[in-house]
């Protein structure tokens, strides 16, 4: 939003600088999210603990899966149209929220059915690679022509 407001007020030349700043901010947030997910996953695996079940948390995670997927898709479509790496990074953060929600739902189901406390940590670690890759793309400023 900040990048777009700069473009509206000051024109295209200034928006490219704002785009770089916003894209790097998005990349940094993806790196921080990757670090948090990794630390939390390793902690759960190290301590041998899974997630605690709560119906409100389960319902929120279940609703977040399609909601975040839809939101991420719409943001990627717009990012492609306007060529915004920053909006793409924001879309990836929304997609990651949906993926992590899926991990929560799958973890709670596996824990309940199979007593597989470790599955949440393993699933979360698989997402870290994706976060780092997308964070690097946003940080380095790869062109949004590669938006998926």
Q: With a threshold of 0.85, does the pTM exceed it?
A: no
Closest CA to 117 of 125, 127, 128, 106: 106
For 133, residues 6+ apart whose C-beta sits below 8 A from its C-beta are: none
Q: Is 147 helix (H, G, I), strand (E, B) or coil?
A: coil
- Report the domain count for the chain: 1
Q: Which domain holds residue 102?
A: 2-146
Cα separation, 35 vs 56, in Å, equals 26
**How does pLDDT run along the chain (148 residues), one tens digit per residue?**
666 676 667 666 656 777 788 788 888 998 999 999 999 999 999 998 877 777 888 899 999 999 999 999 999 998 888 888 778 888 888 888 898 888 888 888 888 788 888 888 888 888 898 889 888 988 887 554 444 4
- CATH of residue 102's domain is 1.20.1510.10
């Amino acid at each position: 939003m900040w990048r777009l407001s700069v473009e509206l007020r000051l024109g295209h030349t200034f928006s490219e600088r704002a785009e770089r700043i916003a894209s790097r901010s998005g990349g940094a947030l993806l790196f921080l999210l990757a670090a948090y997910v990794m630390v939390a996953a390793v902690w759960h695996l190290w301590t041998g603990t899974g997630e605690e079940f709560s119906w409100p948390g389960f319902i929120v995670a279940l609703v977040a899966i399609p909601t975040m997927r839809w939101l991420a898709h719409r943001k990627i479509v717009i990012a492609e149209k306007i060529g915004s790496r920053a909006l793409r990074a924001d879309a990836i953060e929304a997609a990651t929220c949906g993926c992590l929600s899926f991990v929560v739902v799958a973890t709670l189901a596996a824990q309940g059915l199979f007593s597989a406390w470790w599955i949440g940590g393993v699933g979360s670690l698989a997402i870290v690679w994706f976060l780092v890759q997308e964070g690097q793309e946003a940080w380095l400023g790869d062109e949004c022509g590669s938006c998926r």
